[in-house]
Amino acid sequence: MNLANKITLSRILVIPVLMLFIVPYPSWVPNSVAINDFLNMNGRIIAAIIFLLAAATDGVDGYIARSRNMITDLGKFLDPIADKLLVTAALVAFSERQEISSWIVFIILAREFIVSGFRIIAANKGLVIAASWWGKVKTITQMVAIVFVMLDNYPFSTFTAIPFDDILMIIAMLLTIISGYDYLKKNWNVLK
C-alpha cells in the first residue's frame, strides 16, 4: 500500500463522513430536528468542502503514482471505484432529499454499471480500456454539478433565480450519456 493508494483509499473512507452531512437524520434519532436544522444551514457547506477535498485527491493520487513510479494494480482498481463511490454517494443522498431527479441518478448509475461490465469483460480477455476524454469531462462536470447542488445553487442564488445547479446536473447527465455511447461504440468489439 503505497502513498498514492493510501490517498485513493482516503477518498473512499471519507464517504461515510460526507453522508453524515447530507442525509437527513430520521425522527427516531435523538435531537434529529436540531441536527437537521444544523445540517440544513451548515451541513451543505461542510459537505461541499469534504467533497471538494476528496475530489481533489483524484488528481493528487494520479500525479504521485505517475511521478514516483507507484502505479499498481491496486491503484488501477481503487481509483475509478473511489470516483464512482464518491459521486454515487452524493447523488443518492440528494435523490433521497428530493433535490436531484431519480431519473438523473438512474442514468448516471446505469452508465457506470454498463462501463464497469465492459471493463470486466475486457479484463478477462487481457484488454485494458483506457478512460476517454469524454469520460474525464463527464466526471469533472458531475463533480462540479454536485458541489453546486450541495451549496444549494450558491453563489448564483444570491443574484438570480436561474437554477444553475439543476442546469449543470442536466449537462452532467447528457455528458454521461454521450460518454457512455462513445465508450460502447469504441469498445463494442469486446463483446465479440
Q: What is the pTM of this model?
A: 0.84
| pLDDT-based confidence at residue 191 (cuts at 50, 70, 90) | confident
Q: Considering 99, 134, 167, which residue would you say is the last residue of a domain?
A: 99
Q: Are residues 91 and 113 in the same domain?
A: no
Q: Considering 99, 127, 156, which residue would you say is the last residue of a domain?
A: 99
User: In sequence order, which residues have a C-beta less than 8 Å from that of residue 155 and are 6 or more positions away?
Assistant: none
What 3-state class would DSSP assign to 169?
helix
Is the predicted pLDDT of residue 58 greater than 90, yes or no?
no
Q: Considering 76, 99, 122, which residue would you say is the last residue of a domain?
A: 99
Q: Are residues 190 and 118 in the same domain?
A: yes
Q: Are residues 49 and 22 in the same domain?
A: yes
Q: Are residues 115 and 93 in the same domain?
A: no
Dig out the grid coordinates for 119 from the structure: 471493463
Q: Are residues 127 and 45 in the same domain?
A: no
Q: Are residues 144 and 182 in the same domain?
A: yes
Kindly tell me the burial class for residue 183, based on how many C-beta atoms sit within 10 Å of its own C-beta (0-12, 13-18, 19 or more): buried
Contact 179, 112 (CB under 8 A): no
Q: What is the total count of domains within the chain? A: 2
Average pLDDT over residues 112-136: 84
CA gap 27, 161 in Å, rounded? 32
| pLDDT-based confidence at residue 15 (cuts at 50, 70, 90) | very high
Q: Are residues 95 and 155 in the same domain?
A: no
Contact 21, 39 (CB under 8 A): yes
Q: Which domain holds residue 182?
A: 101-192
Q: Are residues 84 and 44 in the same domain?
A: yes
